[in-house]
Amino acid sequence: MASGVLVFGEATEDGALAPVTGELLGAAKSLGGPVTCALLGAGVEGLAQQCGPLGADKVIVVDDPLLKDYQGDAYVPIGERIARETDASVVLFGQTMVGRDMAPRLAQRLNTAVAMDCVELTMNGDRLTAGRPCYGGSARARYTFNATPQMATVRAKVFDPQPDASKQAEVVKQDAGVSADAIRAKVTGRRKEAAEGIRLEDAPVVVSGGRGLGGPEGFKEIEEMASVLGGAVGASRAVCDLGWYPVAAQVGLTGKVVTPDVYIAVGISGASQHMAGISQVKNIVAINKDPEANIFKSSRFAVVGDWKEVVAGFTEKARELKTG
Amino acid sequence: MPHIVCCVKQVPDPEAPASQFKVDEAARKVLPIPGIQPVPSQFDTIGVEAALRIKDKIADTTITILTLGPDSFRDAIKHCLAMGADEGVHINDPALNDADHWAAAEILAAAIKSLQPVDLVICGRQAVDWDMGIVGSTIAEIMDMPVVTIAKELQMDGGKVTVERVLLDGFETVESPTPCVVTVSNELGEPRYPQLRQIMQAAKKEVKTLTGADLGIAEARNRVNLEALFVPESKVETEFIEADSGKEAGEKLALRLREEKLI
């Protein structure tokens, strides 16, 4: 009889435990039953000890140079083997670049289903109900499963880690058991589109620009505003598609999920696909010339007006407040 | 003679005003908005664009548009044929209309098998209605093909594809032998818009209809149950900052945010 939760944790590129791992383990703990954390990668063995205090009873580490970059053809069979061995009732991934690619493939190999990008997980006996935004965030759907394991990927920053320093996990090392020949789709190169300054995901303040800026040059003022506030710059999908700003800054369903203390949206109408990236933000501030803009419905503070004038006044005053 | 199959879904227009978005909670369905026509899912037409860019280089490429859905989905096929695709296949069977994502992938995979030889299957990274993003990968697993997801560039050449994938802070290049599945993202660029002449030509292109019986599938084998569908409440009270000029409003906004200790 399947029981417990299997979590696929992740490491960051710098070799630290990715924050989503703690969130997944926190969510897993709340669902009940033993929690197993799988860590796949190169140089991840040292991270296993951190998973115990975050809620894992057992950590399965597969540390192999072959797993340095995520490649589905290597990761999916290892994931399948671990899922079958663990026989967990629930399997969780982060809605990350790895989770988006790996979870659907693993679900098919296990003849089960996965609910993607979940923001609610509740257990009723051994039945999982997974709630997730759909229609670009305009609606919420709740699913139950006709097959096991019941799988879900979880949106970043929805679930809180539940650390308990006294807890330790049993750590088990496993071989990858996959040869390089098995990798059909191969990563042959990588390039970073490095944003300067503070990372969008970590910034306490994010200032984002949208199509309302009228052109790429408008981002100068957005950058200045963000810099005065010690924040990062984001962008709507529309402006990234237009080439006004780098894709790495895109906030939304198909970009990044951000959770700053304050999110300032300038010239962004608030299409539901954008709102999906800021659904966990408590303080949304919107500056838009259209009083009917959808973004105002979710905003705590709003200014209807010409963005150039409002931003000029704001940045000047904010600089004065910050230095004064 | 490369053969590309593009999977295309018809969805409610995501550009429709958010205020008109309504759900029938009892039926667990999104209500159609009167006067607003459904459209092909945007990521799927971007997939057709990716296929057409290959055809622009390799002229004898055949592009087949594949869709699963009721009669109205024919419009999505016609749109993609007008963009420049060659043939359409419409799986239209009331017994399969309520297929979930896995059942849909199983049905589409069966149809793709019937269209072989196929060198490349292209899907949108996700449909803009359910935003699930699993059908392309699942088709690949069922057909035991490699898959590359979330592409911003796709080139096909001599038995392999070279794909530029979108990562959170950059891009990676992935090479895969064909046949394979690729899912595409908006970073690939805008899909071309059909000209009137192409729309007239598309009317003459063949659209083949298939039923479950043609594919040996009697019913949708769903793996999930949709238990609830609703519009989540937003509980935000908005404070509108007003002033005589925009500049003044900006200053007042900064002061309010400072009062609230937010900046």
Contact in structure between A37 and A10 (CB atoms under 8 Å): no
SS3 of A88-157: CCEEEEECCHHHHHHHHHHHHHCCCCEEEEECEEEEECCEEEEEEEEHHHCEEEEEEECCCCEEEEECCC
In this complex, is the C-beta atom of A294 within 8 Å of any C-beta atom belonging to chain B? yes
Instruction: Write down the mean pLDDT value for chain A.
Output: 94
Distance in Å, alpha carbon of A34 to nearest chain B alpha carbon: 24
How many pairs of residues across A and B have Cβ atoms under 8 Å apart? 259
Banded model confidence at residue B171, pLDDT cuts 50, 70, 90: very high
Is B18 a residue whose pLDDT tops 90?
no
Give bridge partners of residue B65 from the DSSP assignment: B6, B88
Residue A258 phi/psi, 5° resolution?
-120, 150
Chain B nearest-CA residue for A300:
B238
Separation between Cα atoms, residue A285 and residue B240, nearest integer Å:
10
Inter-chain touch A140–B250, beta carbons under 8 Å: no
| More confident of the two residues B14 and A235 | A235
* Per-residue confidence (pLDDT) for residue A193, from 0 to 100: 77
SS3 category, B30:
strand
Chain A residues within an 8 Å CB radius of B101 = 113
Given an 8 Å threshold on Cβ–Cβ distance, is B263 in contact with A318?
A: yes
* Average confidence (pLDDT) over A156-176: 95
- What average pLDDT does the segment B5-16 reach? 92
Encode pLDDT of B33-81 as tens digits: 999 999 999 999 999 999 999 999 999 999 999 999 999 999 999 999 9
pLDDT tens digit sequence for B236-251? 899 999 999 999 999 9
Q: Is A173 on the interface with B (CB under 8 A)?
A: no
Interface contact flag, A241 B260, Cβ < 8 Å: no
Say what the pLDDT of residue A199 is.
Answer: 84
Measured between beta carbons, the chain B residues lying within 8 angstroms of A242 are none
Give pLDDT tens digits for B195-210: 999 999 998 998 999 9
Least confident of A245-254, A308-317, B131-140, B144-153: A245-254
Flag if B249 and A310 touch (Cβ within 8 Å): yes
Tell me the pLDDT tens digit for each residue of A123-160: 999 999 999 999 988 899 999 999 999 999 999 889 99
Of residues B149, B172, B254, nearest to A187 (C-beta): B172
Please say whether the beta carbons of A294 and B18 come within 8 A: yes
Burial class (CB in 10 A: 0-12, 13-18, 19+), A69: middle
> Across residues B103-123, what is the average pLDDT?
98
* A143: nearest CB among B224, B245, B260: B224
Picking from B174, B228, B238, the nearest residue to A186 by CB comes out as B174
Portion of chain B with pLDDT greater than 70, in percent: 100
Q: Do A313 and B125 touch (CB under 8 A)?
A: no
> In chain B, which residues have their Cβ closer than 8 Å to the Cβ of A113?
100-102, 223-224
Q: If pLDDT is split at 50, 70 and 90, which confidence band does A323 have? A: confident
β-bridge partners, A251: A256
Q: B186: distance to nearest CA of chain A, Å?
A: 7
Residue A197 scores a pLDDT above 80:
no
Give chain A positions within 8 Å (CB) of B180: 184-185
Minimum-distance CB partner of A113 among B172, B180, B224? B224
What's the pLDDT band for A196 if we cut at 50, 70, 90?
low
Tokens at residue A79, please? 């994931």
Question: Which candidate, B106, B73, B227, places its Cα nearest to that of A128?
Answer: B227
Residues of chain A found within 8 Å of residue B173, distances taken between Cβ atoms: 187-190
At A198-222, the pLDDT tens digits run: 888 889 999 999 999 999 999 999 9
pLDDT at res. A195: 63
CB contact under 8 A, A139 and B171: no
Look at the block and give the residue holding tokens 């679900």: A107
Sequence-distant (≥ 6) Cβ neighbours of residue B236 within 8 angstroms? A284, A297, A298, A299, A300
pTM of the model: 0.92
DSSP letters spanning A7-23: EEE-B-TTSSBPHHHHH
Residue A296 exposure: Cα atoms within 13 Å on the Cβ side: 16
- Chain A residues within 8 A of B142 when measuring between CB atoms: 108
pLDDT, tens only, A35-89 = 999 999 999 999 999 999 999 999 999 999 999 999 999 999 999 999 999 999 9
Q: Are A108 and B170 within 8 A, CB to CB?
A: no
Q: What is the pLDDT of residue B154?
A: 98
Sign, CA torsion B162/A154/A134/A234: negative
pLDDT at B17: 77
Q: What is the pLDDT of residue A45?
A: 96
More confident residue, A195 or B119: B119
Convert the pLDDT of each residue in A248-271 to its tens digit.
999 998 888 899 999 999 999 998
Query: How high is the pLDDT of residue A114?
Result: 98
Q: Residue A242 CA to chain centroid, in angstroms?
A: 24
**Is A160 touching B (CB cutoff 8 A)?**
no
Whether A143 has its CB under 8 Å from any CB of chain B: the answer is: yes
For the cut 70, the answer to whether the pLDDT of residue A92 exceeds it is yes
Closest residue in A to B242 (Cα) is A303
Residues 183-222 of A with CB under 8 A from B: 184-195, 205
Question: What HEC string does B223-255 produce?
Answer: CEEEEEEECCCCCCCCEECCCCCHHHHHHHHHH
A 75-94 residues with CB below 8 A of B?
A: none
pLDDT value for A201 = 85
pLDDT in tens, B180-194: 999 999 999 989 999
Contacts of A298 in chain B (CB under 8 A): 234, 236
CA nearest to B68, candidates B118, B154, B127:
B127
Interchain CB contact of A95 with B (< 8 Å): no
The fraction of chain A above a pLDDT of 70, given in percent, is 99
Taking CB atoms and an 8 Å cutoff, what residues of chain A touch B246? Answer: 303, 305-306, 308-310, 312-313
Q: What are phi and psi of A67, to 5 degrees?
A: -100, 15
User: In this predicted structure, what is the pLDDT of residue A278?
Assistant: 93
A187 and B174 within 8 Å at the Cβ level: the answer is yes
**Distance in Å, alpha carbon of A81 to nearest chain B alpha carbon:** 16
